[in-house]
Structure 1
Amino acid sequence: MSLDLLIPFAILLILVIYLIYTRNSFEKNIVSLYEKKFDEWKKHSTIDKEQTSHKELVGLIYKKDYKLSIELIDKSVESQLSRGKFEVTNLKDS
């Protein structure tokens, strides 16, 4: 009686092992295919990096009595200061 159930169980076990093996090989093939396609896409695509503006510390402003003095860290903004191209914001209002 135990032999009657052993044969179908063995067939079922072999079938499960076969299906697991074929699924793993199929997944590996699909992953390698998509990796190749992704590498080809990276070669042929042009990615435009977005230019984002950010704040940069270029100087410090001090007040002594009634006079303001500006100490520049980056000399490239000196021309913008002399032309008056700057914006004044109040940090307490923000």
Structure 2
Amino acid sequence: MQAVKQTTQSTYTNTILAETNPHKRLIRLAEVMNLTGLCRATVYHYIKLGGFPAPAKFGKSSLWEYTEIQTWIKQRLQERTHKAS
């Protein structure tokens, strides 16, 4: 029953966001880790240091804006390119 409640809440949250701004999408920690290649501890360590986008809290859930994570990744790639030059 808890899984159904979480799925419903997640679906509701994503629906509201999609209706207000179709370009905004919230993602969970698992997807953040998949996109960045970072482990959970490193994600939260970088947040604490101020070098990673902080999540929005929805109840017990931490959700990140997809575009913020994509921007963070692009910035890391640009830094790498500038260091190589």
TM-score (norm 2): 0.30
Per chain length, whose mean CA-contact separation is higher, i.e. which structure has more relative contact order (CA < 8 Å, sep 6+)? 2
TM-score (norm 1): 0.27
- Relative to its length, the structure with more helix (as a share) is 2
